[in-house]
Chains A and B, each alone.
Chain A
């Protein structure tokens, strides 16, 4: 016998408290899952470390120390020390500090990129879904076209020929990533804008912009925003790939990508330079992804078929 669908259970259990805001209920539902809590705790630890450790530490992530170069991480080789828990690189710079500074950039770029993607994608999707007709056709063909060019090719094609600064990276990744949001938004808006309340507002003389911004956006966007948490992690990976190819934020600013690219040259005699930033990035991303996956599940349970 097939076991009972948790989504169905969720919906039944949820029926009485229709009054509470859907967004709050998604959070509550996500919080009930252990994955979310684990992800949140790990993420908060890393976040606080990234915020405060570089400020409080007595060493500078860019300061070289030739005598203390290529020190291994704690307990993993000769000459390790507590001042450099993750070891040092070929110029004696502290790996932990460099990873944490890298994390700052990575997260900053990840979040801003997703915001750009949401802004572009949802606006286009909403206009296409609400207006319909030839506007929709044109916008959606454009979306298809962009979906069929691999995002990374687009990003490196643009960044390769221009100068990779942080705003450029955010813009390029954002421009490359919006199509999925446009698609989802359009399909939901199309369903919603046929409903009574939208037609009612139209009869009452509300302008299109007013309907889109005040009636449709609050209804359509929350479920999409919940899923976009997963995209933050995706964008952080893309940022690191760009850094690795040499098209990300330029050294000496440490980012995960250029740290790993650097470490690759010393792989045989100092494995930790390339490995540590990767583990660090992977742990961060896993925490974000666990939260994202839990949020997505919670959203699916509460919003049901919507979006």
Chain B
């Protein structure tokens, strides 16, 4: 029963958050200068035509009216159509202003559904790689605080945070893909194309994991039940793995929930560098083309994912550590 009331409360909170995100992004896009119609119709379109299109699309109504209309559609699962992207996925960008094919614009939901799986694959690979990098470093650092593994974790962590992801991406493409030809880098034709971008993302996430692990492992190792381990005749590795690491994994899990939005930010840049056809590339293009419905749709869907992931993280944390309260 506790679980149910917890779920109900969190889902309710989640809806509030998603609604706020929707409102924030909707108003921000409309308050900030820059006219999407100008971009859609092209620079040469006459002023009167632009006004006409804008009025037709309801872009000259008061923002609250527009928002109400949009929200009503979203509730029914209709995120609208992209301003600029045609449904067949062909050329994008400002089509001619007398283009009669407005009805053939791609659905936002379809665009997101097409790209999300690739981004998901990228993110999952990246998280696994980040765990592979940070687990040994972080655990070693936490087991020997103040000694060289701890220092190593600190220095490596500081260097990793300082590597700008886009620069690392470029350098890796130059070294591994162009000079050595070990891994493919640009575009997407199979899993091999995920490896380099995922590695760049992993390097971006790893320092935070290393730091959290170092701190939480060091803390757990202070506990009495750890000191009691050897007395109970348990081996060192069993104490560290079963008692130390298990308890230290809860903060790591919480971190993953918080890092989700950071991961998405990284995905954006990395997909842009590697021309990886995922959600991030879609977002950047949407922003550069002032494709309001697409930006809004992506923001709402990602914030929903954020809410769900954080609920899942909390549920998982209570499963690992039953002492935690909902």
A contacts, CB < 8 Å to B: 1-3, 5-6, 8, 35, 141-142, 144-154, 156-158, 160-163, 230, 233-234, 237, 240-241, 244-245, 256, 260, 264, 267-268, 271, 274-275, 277-278, 281-286, 288-290, 293
Report yes or no: B162 in contact with A286, Cβ–Cβ below 8 A: yes
**Distance (Å) between the CB of A169 and the closest chain B CB?**
14
CA distance in complex: A67, B66 (Å): 57
Show 7 residue pairs from A and B whose CB-CB distance is below 8 angstroms, ordered by the A residue: A1-B227, A6-B146, A153-B264, A160-B290, A260-B164, A260-B166, A278-B167
Given A278-B171, A282-B159, output 10 extra A-B contacts at Cβ < 8 Å: A5-B219, A144-B20, A146-B24, A148-B21, A153-B302, A154-B28, A160-B287, A240-B167, A278-B167, A288-B162
Q: Which chain A residues lie closer than 8 Å to B144 at the CB level?
A: 3
Cβ-based interface call for B284 (8 A): yes
Q: Which chain B residues lie closer than 8 Å to A163 at the CB level?
A: 33
Q: Which chain A residues lie closer than 8 Å to B284 at the CB level?
A: 156, 245
Report yes or no: B29 in contact with A157, Cβ–Cβ below 8 A: yes
Q: Which 7 A-B pairs have the closest CB atoms?
A: A161-B34, A285-B162, A145-B20, A278-B167, A152-B265, A148-B306, A150-B264
**Distance (Å) between the CB of A307 and the closest chain B CB?**
14
Query: Which of the candidate stretches B67-75, B96-104, B150-158 sits at the interface with the other chain?
Result: B150-158
Q: Which chain B residues lie closer than 8 Å to A149 at the CB level?
A: 21, 24-25, 261, 299, 302-303
- Interface membership of chain B positions 25-49, coded 1 if the CB is closer than 8 angstroms to chain A and 0 otherwise: 1001100111000000000000000
Q: Which chain B residues lie closer than 8 Å to A264 at the CB level?
A: 170
Given A158-B32, A161-B34, A293-B157: A2 and B222 interface contact (C-beta under 8 Å): yes
Report yes or no: A148 in contact with B167, Cβ–Cβ below 8 A: no
Report yes or no: B290 in contact with A241, Cβ–Cβ below 8 A: no
CA distance in complex: A264, B275 (Å): 14
Most A Cβ at <10 Å: residue of B164, B219, B298: B164
Report yes or no: A35 in contact with B154, Cβ–Cβ below 8 A: yes
Report yes or no: A241 in contact with B145, Cβ–Cβ below 8 A: no
Closest A residue by C-beta to B19? A145
- Interface membership of chain B positions 278-291, coded 1 if the CB is closer than 8 angstroms to chain A and 0 otherwise: 00000110011010
Given A145-B24, A278-B171, A293-B157: A150 and B261 interface contact (C-beta under 8 Å): yes
Given A149-B21, A149-B302, A150-B261: A2 and B288 interface contact (C-beta under 8 Å): no
Report yes or no: B261 in contact with A157, Cβ–Cβ below 8 A: no
Report yes or no: A6 in contact with B158, Cβ–Cβ below 8 A: no
Q: Which chain B residues lie closer than 8 Å to A145 at the CB level?
A: 16-18, 20-21, 24, 303
Interface residues of B, count at CB 8 A: 63
Contact residue among B151, B222, B269 (Cβ-Cβ distance under 8 Å from A152):
B269
Contact residue among B34, B170, B218, B221 (Cβ-Cβ distance under 8 Å from A162):
B34
Report yes or no: A161 in contact with B32, Cβ–Cβ below 8 A: yes
Closest B residue by C-beta to A284? B162
Which chain B residues numbered 174 to 217 have a C-beta less than 8 Å away from chain A? 174, 178, 211
Report yes or no: A141 in contact with B166, Cβ–Cβ below 8 A: no
Q: Which chain A residues lie closer than 8 Å to B230 at the CB level?
A: 1
Q: Which chain B residues lie closer than 8 Å to A157 at the CB level?
A: 25, 28-29, 287, 295, 299
Contact residue among B147, B164, B218, B302 (Cβ-Cβ distance under 8 Å from A282):
B164
Closest A residue by C-beta to B215? A300
**Distance (Å) between the CB of B108 and the closest chain A CB?**
15
Given A149-B25, A268-B178, A286-B158: A5 and B218 interface contact (C-beta under 8 Å): yes
CA distance in complex: A21, B264 (Å): 41
Cβ-based interface call for B262 (8 A): yes
Report yes or no: B17 in contact with A148, Cβ–Cβ below 8 A: yes
**Distance (Å) between the CB of A289 and the closest chain B CB?**
4
**Distance (Å) between the CB of A4 and the closest chain B CB?**
9
Report yes or no: A241 in contact with B307, Cβ–Cβ below 8 A: no
Q: Which chain B residues lie closer than 8 Å to A156 at the CB level?
A: 268, 284, 287
Report yes or no: A290 in contact with B158, Cβ–Cβ below 8 A: yes
Report yes or no: A153 in contact with B268, Cβ–Cβ below 8 A: yes
Most B Cβ at <10 Å: residue of A2, A148, A271, A275: A148
CA distance in complex: A3, B34 (Å): 60
Report yes or no: B163 in contact with A282, Cβ–Cβ below 8 A: yes
Most A Cβ at <10 Å: residue of B171, B178, B290: B171
Report yes or no: A271 in contact with B174, Cβ–Cβ below 8 A: yes
Given A145-B20, A148-B21, A160-B290: A274 and B167 interface contact (C-beta under 8 Å): yes
Report yes or no: A241 in contact with B34, Cβ–Cβ below 8 A: no
Which chain B residues numbered 47 to 68 have a C-beta less than 8 Å away from chain A? none
Most A Cβ at <10 Å: residue of B17, B25, B159, B268: B17
Given A3-B145, A150-B268, A293-B157: A161 and B21 interface contact (C-beta under 8 Å): no
**Distance (Å) between the CB of A133 and the closest chain B CB?**
17
**Distance (Å) between the CB of B33 and the closest chain A CB?**
5
Report yes or no: B265 in contact with A153, Cβ–Cβ below 8 A: yes
- Interface membership of chain B positions 217-239, coded 1 if the CB is closer than 8 angstroms to chain A and 0 otherwise: 01101100011001000000000
Closest B residue by C-beta to A268? B178
Q: Which chain B residues lie closer than 8 Å to A281 at the CB level?
A: 162, 164, 167
Given A144-B17, A148-B21, A152-B269: A2 and B221 interface contact (C-beta under 8 Å): yes
Report yes or no: B29 in contact with A161, Cβ–Cβ below 8 A: yes
CA distance in complex: A151, B33 (Å): 20
- Interface membership of chain B positions 122-151, coded 1 if the CB is closer than 8 angstroms to chain A and 0 otherwise: 000000000000000000000011110001
Q: Which chain B residues lie closer than 8 Å to A230 at the CB level?
A: 161
